[in-house]
Copies of this chain bind each other. A is one copy, B any other.
Amino acid sequence: MTEGASTALLTDMYELTMLDAALESGRAGRMSVFEAFARRLPGGRRYGVVAGTGRVLEAIEKFHFGTEEIDYLAGIGIVSDTTLEWLANYHFSGDIYGYAEGECYFPHSPILTVTGTFADTCMLETLILSILNHDSAVATAASRMTASARERPCLEFGARRTHESAAIHAARAAVISGFMGTSDVEAGRTYGLNIAGTSAHSFTLLHESEEEAFAAQIATMGAGTTLLVDTYDIPRGVERAVAAARGAGGELGAVRIDSGDLIAQAFTVRKQLDDLGATTTKITVTSDLDEFSIAALGAAPVDSYGVGTKLVTGSGYPTAEMVYKLVAREGDDGQMHEVAKASSNKKSVGGLKVAGRVRDEKGHSAQELIVSAQSWEDGLAYLDRSGARPLQHKLVSGGEVNQEFVGKEAIAAAAKRHDASRAELPYDGWRLSRGEPAVPTKLVDIFEGDD
């Protein structure tokens, strides 16, 4: 694609001008702690789902300023030659701690904590937020859909309604939140996801008749395929679909309905299929579904859901609204100091934070315990005394990415993790209505610094 192999320019210009000024002022080397978190859950959702962490780690490995990047920056003259030289030698050498993909999160959960020099850590802001905000928004919507679908499979069909590269990663995020597969072929190749799909209305319209189209599809895909039955008239479509499969010596795998009143049609089509003896033929539906319509279809005889637009656009909330804030940095005394923006309506909580989830006696998540601490060890000791499950993992050590959290295998692990994390939520976590987070956040400051 146009952006090339380096991820280094996927950034806001001000990261570069800040670096330039900080190198000049002598403050660029101050040890710093940046934190990515969400102040709120958009849309009054009850929980969020972390996704994109593995992609962040892969992107950091490719965050290098090569000749082409340096040449471009030199040409536009926004930073000094000293800074260009610094950039040419840059690779992230700090540490990153964070929530693993699939974990549920709540307001102020410290989803990603990046430590290193200011120069090292400030550079990654835009890229980290782009990835986490997109992928977590999709994963959060996807989780509400799979929760509403219960045991019925959900498939991701939204590529056409979102940016072509975003589509790949929307599919990845959906699978983390329990989707069984995707229509996006590139997502299949890149991440080893299951891909799915059979035909569109155009295929039926291309042929002289619905019968001819169905026979053609079965000839290559077999009787077990899914036939789209709503191009002309649904009852006739269903009849022809079943007949086409039987003509090829089999029973039809499924019919797909893509328009109209899906609930009423599901009952009508199920009855027709049963009356025709096609009791094993399944029904899949695919028309502008979201978590609410999936829930409403719960009592209808539907076997699977294909979800498009609403999934890839976060079902009304296309960004997770995470921010990346400097929460602590070294002072002239060589000690770390909590810092936070003071003015107006955007208050931040300062300091390095260690997070754990406290369960109640029934095993449900009861509290997101976030500890402002001087060190990881202090924070973890506090969590241990509180009986909280630690939520952060060491994702990067001295610039080296922990390979457990990247690549294809990490996606299956994330899906499993999400299933467990969601299962632990209290009843409120499963509510689709707007409201308070399912698990309250408690912030404890055990920071001992003399700020």
Residues of A in contact with B (beta carbons under 8 Å apart): 1-5, 7, 9-18, 20-22, 24-25, 27, 30, 32, 34, 58-59, 69, 72-73, 76, 78-80, 118, 122, 125-127, 129-131, 133-134, 157, 159-169, 183-186, 188-190, 195-203, 205-208, 212, 215-217, 219-221, 230-234, 237, 258-260, 309, 312-314, 318-319, 321, 324-326, 329, 331-332, 339-346
CB distance from A50 to the nearest CB of B (A): 16
Flag if A13 contacts B260 (CB, 8 Å): no
Q: Chain B residues near A165 (CB, 8 Å)? A: 1, 3, 10, 163, 165-166
* B198–A130 CB distance below 8 A: no
Residue of B nearest to A228 (CB): B14
Contact call A343/B160, Cβ cutoff below 8 A: no
Q: Top 4 A-B pairs ranked by shortest CB distance?
A: A14-B197, A25-B216, A13-B197, A129-B160
> CB distance A221 to B162 under 8 Å?
no
Residue in B186, B197, B346 whose CB lies within 8 Å of A17: B197
Q: Tell me if A129 and B161 are in contact (CB < 8 A).
A: yes
Contact: B159 with A321, CB < 8 Å?
no
Q: How many copies does the complex hold?
A: 2
User: Given A3-B165, A197-B17, A313-B318, do A125 and B160 touch, yes or no (CB 8 Å)?
Assistant: yes
Query: Which chain B residue lies CB-closest to A205?
Result: B339
Please determine whether A159 and B11 come into contact, CB atoms closer than 8 angstroms.
yes
Task: Give min CB distance, A138 to chain B, whole Å.
Answer: 9
Docked pose: A42 CA to B132 CA in angstroms: 27
In the complex, which residue of chain B has the Cβ closest to the Cβ of A218? B21
Contact A164-B344, Cβ < 8 Å, known A17-B220, A220-B24: no
A-B contact list, 24 entries, CB within 8 Å: A3-B186, A11-B185, A12-B157, A18-B199, A20-B221, A22-B216, A32-B206, A59-B164, A72-B189, A80-B220, A122-B203, A125-B202, A129-B161, A161-B321, A163-B163, A166-B166, A202-B325, A205-B329, A230-B344, A232-B341, A234-B344, A237-B343, A259-B344, A260-B343
Q: Give the distance to chain B from A290, nearest Cβ to Cβ, in Å.
A: 13
Q: In whole Å, how far is A146's beta carbon from the nearest beta carbon of chain B?
A: 20
Q: Determine the chain B residues whose CB is within 8 A of the CB of A14 once the complex forms.
A: 183, 197-200
List, in ascending order, chain B residues with CB within 8 A of A198's CB. 14, 17
Q: Contact at B207–A27, with CB atoms within 8 Å?
A: yes
Instruction: Kindly state the separation between the CA atoms of A1 and B326 in the bound complex, as whole angstroms.
Output: 28
- Which one of B10, B185, B346 lies within 8 Å of A164 (CB-CB)? B10
Residues of B within 8 A of A345 (CB): 259-260
B185 x A16 contact (CB < 8 A): yes
Q: Is the CB of A9 within 8 A of B186?
A: yes
Q: Roughly how many angstroms separate A203 CA and B326 CA in the complex, as a whole number?
A: 9
Whether B3 contacts A163 by the Cβ 8 Å rule is: no
- Of the candidates B20, B22, B208, the one whose C-beta lies within 8 Å of that of A332 is B208
Please name the residue on chain B nearest to A135 by beta carbon: B163
Q: Which residues of B contact A17 (CB under 8 A)?
A: 197-199, 217, 220-221
Residues of B within 8 A of A167 (CB): 10, 130
Measured CB to CB, the nearest residue on chain B to A325 is B202
Chain B residues positioned under 8 Å from A162 (CB to CB)? 130, 133-134, 166, 318-319
Q: When chains A and B are docked, how far (Å) is the Cα of A212 from the Cα of B133?
A: 32
**Which B residues are in CB contact (< 8 Å) with A314?**
318
| A5 CB, min distance to chain B CBs, angstroms | 7
CA distance A230 to B309 in the complex (A): 38
A342, B236: Cα distance in complex, Å: 13
Looking at the assembled complex, report how far the CB atom of A430 sits from the nearest CB atom of chain B, in whole angstroms.
Answer: 26
For residue A195, which residues in chain B have a CB less than 8 angstroms away from its CB?
13, 76, 78
| Chain B contacts for A183, CB-based, 8 A | 12-14, 126
